[in-house]
Amino acid sequence: EAQVTQNPRYLITVTGKKLTVTCSQNMNHEYMSWYRQDPGLGLRQIYYSMNVEVTDKGDVPEGYKVSRKEKRNFPLILESPSPNQTSLYFCASSLGGRSAETQYFGPGTRLLVL
Amino acid sequence: DAKTTQPTSMDCAEGRAANLPCNHSTISGNEYVYWYRQIHSQGPQYIIHGLKNNETNEMASLIITEDRKSSTLILPHATLRDTAVYYCIVRRSGGSNYKLTFGKGTLLTVNP
């Protein structure tokens, strides 16, 4: 089944404790992206990747890092989480090019930073 | 990318057609209209997209007016599982970042 998976789905952590949220897709998609969703602010893009080893900042990249060492995986790293990073996070992927509009989203990761 | 305007909320009876409007009066010639939906806190789901012509797939139909300044998403036989926030997004195809800009969307509630 074609899908985007995220782990963990729920995470409670404390300020300053490094964490990684994994994202994996099994559709051989070139494009991957991370969004965060907050009440009243909608979905905002954090980082994106057009292909392996090609990443760039989205609208709200501060406090986050990403890497794209292989096509299927696009982990989101919070080196020193803070309470303002408490949010619902979504990973998305698409084939790119003319098929970029059909983006597949993961189930979400709900993060609480205390 | 052009701005879109959607009603905040709509109701629909189960089994009836749900017609969700979207206004995008500043759309450019190379911008597409996309529809996604988000069922409570789940990941957004692609529904359909189009440029000028009306489009239909297994989920829905998209009707775009001739001047392309507005469109309507039609769910022909709404079910309770169609209750979700529906987002109308306008953007050009391709580019260096396929970012989707989600507005507030329309909360569609399908009632039994």
pLDDT score for B93? 74
Does the pLDDT of residue A106 top 90, yes or no? Answer: yes
Determine, for residues A43 and B93 on separate chains, whether the beta-carbon distance falls below 8 Å.
no
> By CA distance, what is A87's nearest residue in B?
B41
Mean pLDDT by 10 residues, chain B (112 residues): 90 97 93 94 94 94 96 97 96 80 94 96
Q: Which of A4, A56, A105 sits opposite B97 (nearest CB)?
A: A56
pLDDT, mean of residues A34-61:
94
Does the pLDDT of residue A98 top 80, yes or no? Answer: no
More confident residue, A95 or A7: A7
Probe site for chain B from A90, A103, A110 (most B CB atoms < 10 A): A103
On whether any CB of chain B is under 8 Å from the CB of A96, the answer is: yes
pLDDT score for B2? 66
Does the pLDDT of residue A48 top 60, yes or no? Answer: yes
A2-26 confidence digits (pLDDT tens): 899 999 999 999 999 999 999 999 9
Q: In the block, which residue shows the tokens 């952590």?
A: A13
Question: How far A56 CA sits from the closest chain B CA (Å)?
Answer: 9
pLDDT score for B29? 87
On whether any CB of chain B is under 8 Å from the CB of A43, the answer is: yes
Question: How far A97 CA sits from the closest chain B CA (Å)?
Answer: 6
Does the pLDDT of residue A100 top 80, yes or no? Answer: no
% chain A with pLDDT above 90: 88
pLDDT score for B44? 96
Does the pLDDT of residue A96 top 80, yes or no? Answer: no
Q: Tell me, what amino acid is at A81?
A: P
Determine, for residues B98 and A103 on separate chains, whether the beta-carbon distance falls below 8 Å.
yes
Cα separation values, A79 from A15, A62, A64, A74, B58, Å:
10, 11, 7, 16, 43
CB atoms within 10 A of CB B79: 13
pLDDT score for A71? 96
Determine, for residues B43 and A92 on separate chains, whether the beta-carbon distance falls below 8 Å.
yes
Cα separation values, B103 from B35, B72, B83, Å:
11, 16, 18
Question: How far A50 CA sits from the closest chain B CA (Å)?
Answer: 7
